[in-house]
Amino acid sequence: MKETLTLPVEGMTCASCVVRVEKSLKKIDGVETANVNLATEKVTLTFDGNKTDVQKMGKAVEEAGYKLLIPESKDAAHEATHYGKEAVVEHSGHDSDSTYQQLKKKFIFSAILTLPIMVVSMIGMTEWFMNISPLSMEEVNKFLLIATTLVLVVSGKRFFILSARLLRHGAVDMNTLVAVGTGTAYVYSLFVVLFPHWLSLEHGATHVYFDTTATIITLILMGRLLEAKAKNRTKDAIKKLVGLQPKTANVIRGGTEEDIPIADVVHDDIVVVRPGERVAVDGTVLKGFTSIDESMITGESIPVDKTVGSRVIGGTMNKTGSLEFKATAVGSETMIAHIIKLVEEAQGSKAPIQALADKIASVFVPTVISLAFITFLVWLAIGDAGFVGAMINFIAVLIIACPCALGLATPTAIMVGTGLGATKGILIKNAESLERAHRIQTIVLDKTGTITEGKPKVTSVTLFNSVAETTLLEEVAALENKSEHPLAQAIVEYSRSKNVRLLNVESFQSYPGLGASGVVEGNAIVIGNHAMMKEYAVNTAQADSVVQKYSELGQTPVYIARNGEIAAVVAMADVLKPSSKHAIAELKRMNIKVIMLSGDSVRTSGAIAREAGIDDYIAEVLPHEKAAHVKNLQKEGTIVAMVGDGINDAPALAQADVGIAMGTGTDVAIETSDITLMKGDITSVLHAIKLSKLTIRTIKQNLFWAFIYNMIGIPIAALGLLNPIVAAAAMAFSSVSVVSNSLRIRSRKL
């Protein structure tokens, strides 16, 4: 039984921690995948529930030196995963806000003590200070010892505890680097204060480095604090989505309206939503008319009109009228729950570009420790700085080489990118899909419902025999209103846009495949194709050339006869969506080849392709043949994206390198595709590709700076050109800069 869970992991601080946790979990029989996200401090697990369980996985993580925070029950874990809520957090006590507050308190305490430690250390050796100070040098050093010890015990102990825990399991990480670096400076200074004659006799040195120890810890805590604050901002999209879910719902039970917790709403409940309230759950409108703001779901800012039979989505904002609707999806079945789940899974997934960073991280810390010891030994053996100088350079190498930035480079960008996509109605299944999208070379577009509206519309009306258009439309609309045929409904919709009256129909007869006839206000009306006109002996000679012209344009002509004479020809077509032409032009400008697939005739398909600005199209394609066409394109060595409705295009979506489902936002669309576009027009395809390019560019920038930072910093420190305090500040800045660079994605226009 395959299961997927997302659980918090405690104790991770850098990229090497991520690799170690993943390795420990992947060794367990039954675990298929384990993706650890350093930015969220969570692991997403896919495993066979018949072969293993969370307790075994928790034990494996603990043996690696970390802690997997397991909820009280499996149901609670699944609830957290499905809802995208912090249910796991609630059960485990792991809360990012409380962690941030604890970190803040420790930083403030450390900073308050570090400031006088630094001041005293800088002026304590001066003659001026010794003349005015009532304290001797030994007493000043003891003050520094006590103050630094408090910094270590209260604020810095976390580095030593985590480092010791890992060492018991034969592992090292960033905490090891900090603990060894600051511990070395502290222990050396401790001996100088308590046993000065030992070191003076051997080395002739009495200077202490308590300021180095305290300042490094304070600067690293400051970096962690800024990093934590920035990381919390990367979760804003999820927080907004979770915040959309109302806490209560107004339902009608037993004829009485009552306010109940959202968790108590069940299928088929009649739910009431008033102006200014959020829709409680997904449902179908039974009564009322209103406009609803669905922008947080679809990215579309214009409110959508809702009337009887319309679908409403939980979490959206009702603007004007009141509604009563029947609940069709509750709890984890709702659209908002599906979206939250999808976004969290995407944020927890790992992009292929991360592989290089993971390989480096797996050997990074041991390598750095080795380099630090080599630096110490070389300076001790051939340098003129003696033991103290060698020790300072040893500490500088350890501190400058923290791999935090390396671990945050990819996940923070993925989190912000997928989060931004969700707010724009672009749902990305995983980081791999996001990365592949930036390499798309060819886009295959399904015609109906993707490029076009997906339903016929009247494009023009040609009148004959001096019949007034308003009069004719009143009679024709009244007759066609009796039919459910799409062409009939298109005529009715067009007539309504002209504000015509719907007259009384005296008789009505439908002829499948031909048309319809009837009597309206005493006038005999016949509507249909040429065969229908022939059946009623209507002479169409004067209209045949017009019909041919419309047919050549790929439009569907319909004859209208009134009292035995041809009265008009109405042309209908599945028209382009307003944004299609511009979006296709933009895709071509990005050097992406655009191909249209259609089941329509060559004539109709060609007309649509020309109007949309598409050079390549394939007509008369059956649904099951679409996947084969995509496969043929892939054989040519091109990266192919397929854009369809996510249901009848499922095989082609699955075959494509990137499957993009448009418009419906249904469960089928979400599950089938790599990317689901809630808004449903090609502009969203353009935005999805731009978002992918922006995110991948940001990841590459982050990785570049993370690598360059260490490649430059470590040699400088080894050469003795970098003070450990400066190294600590630079290390803190590197992590914060990576997260801040990722956050820039949020402000970019797609």
pLDDT in tens, 584-638: 999 999 999 999 998 877 888 888 899 999 999 998 888 778 889 999 999 999 9
d(CA 677, CA 679): 6
Q: Which of the two residues, 725 and 238, has the higher pLDDT score? A: 725
d(CA 703, CA 356): 10
Q: Which domain holds residue 273?
A: 241-343
Question: Is the domain of 362 the same as that of 333?
Answer: no
pLDDT digits (tens, 9 = 90+) for 694-741: 999 999 999 888 888 888 899 999 999 988 988 888 888 888 889 899
CATH of the domain at 592: 3.40.50.1000
Confidence at residue 604, expressed as pLDDT on a 0 to 100 scale? 83
What burial letters (b/e) apply to 734-749, b meaning 16+ CB within 10 Å? bbbbbbebbbebeeee
CA distances from 561 to 228, 254, 373, 492, 526 (A): 74, 54, 97, 17, 5
pLDDT band at 671 (very low <50, low <70, confident <90, very high): low
In a domain, 117, yes or no: no
In a domain, 113, yes or no: no
Question: Is the domain of 582 the same as that of 446?
Answer: yes
Q: What single string gives the DSSP state of each residue in 413-455?
A: HHHHHHHHHHHTTEEE--HHHHHHHTT--EEEEEIIIIIB-SS
pLDDT digits (tens, 9 = 90+) for 150-178: 999 999 998 898 888 888 877 777 788 88
pLDDT digits (tens, 9 = 90+) for 422-475: 888 898 988 899 999 999 999 999 888 889 888 889 999 999 987 888 999 999
pLDDT beyond 90 at 561: yes
Count of structural domains within the chain: 5
Q: Using alpha carbons only, how large is the chain's radius of gyration in Å?
A: 35
Question: Is the domain of 401 the same as that of 267?
Answer: no
d(CA 353, CA 359): 11
Average pLDDT over residues 337-366: 79
In a domain, 250, yes or no: yes
Question: Is the domain of 281 the same as that of 382?
Answer: no
CATH of the domain at 518: 3.40.1110.10
- Does the active-site annotation cover 282? no
pLDDT beyond 60 at 90: no
d(CA 724, CA 215): 9
In a domain, 393, yes or no: yes
Average pLDDT, the chain: 85
- 211, 282, 358, 446: which one is catalytic? 446
Question: Is the domain of 321 the same as that of 256?
Answer: yes
Q: Which of 44-53, 71-80, 264-273, 484-493 has the highest mean pLDDT?
A: 264-273
In a domain, 689, yes or no: no
Q: Which of the two residues, 298 and 700, has the higher pLDDT score? A: 700
Question: Is the domain of 245 the same as that of 380?
Answer: no
pLDDT digits (tens, 9 = 90+) for 482-503: 888 888 999 999 998 888 887 8
Confidence at residue 241, expressed as pLDDT on a 0 to 100 scale? 77
Question: Is the domain of 569 the same as that of 589?
Answer: no
In a domain, 746, yes or no: yes
User: Which domain-ending residue is among 343, 376, 399?
Assistant: 343
Among 167, 24, 410, CA closest to 175: 167
pLDDT beyond 90 at 72: no
The C-alpha angle with vertex 224 and arms to 218 and 230, in degrees rounded to 5, equals: 140
Question: Is the domain of 468 the same as that of 493?
Answer: yes
Q: Minimum mean pLDDT among 114-128, 171-185, 276-290, 425-439: which range?
A: 114-128
CATH of the domain at 327: 2.70.150.10
Question: Is the domain of 495 the same as that of 569?
Answer: yes
User: Which domain-ending residue is among 343, 375, 408?
Assistant: 343
CATH of the domain at 59: 3.30.70.100
What burial letters (b/e) apply to 3-29, b meaning 16+ CB within 10 Å? bbbbbbbbbbbbbbbbbbbbebbeebe
Question: Is the domain of 403 the same as that of 268?
Answer: no
pLDDT band at 335 (very low <50, low <70, confident <90, very high): confident
pLDDT band at 328 (very low <50, low <70, confident <90, very high): very high
d(CA 187, CA 151): 14
Confidence at residue 102, expressed as pLDDT on a 0 to 100 scale? 87
Question: Is the domain of 526 the same as that of 548?
Answer: yes
User: Which domain-ending residue is among 542, 573, 604?
Assistant: 573
**C-beta separation of 692 from 435 below 8 A:** yes
Q: How many residues does the chain have?
A: 750
Question: Is the domain of 337 the same as that of 357?
Answer: no
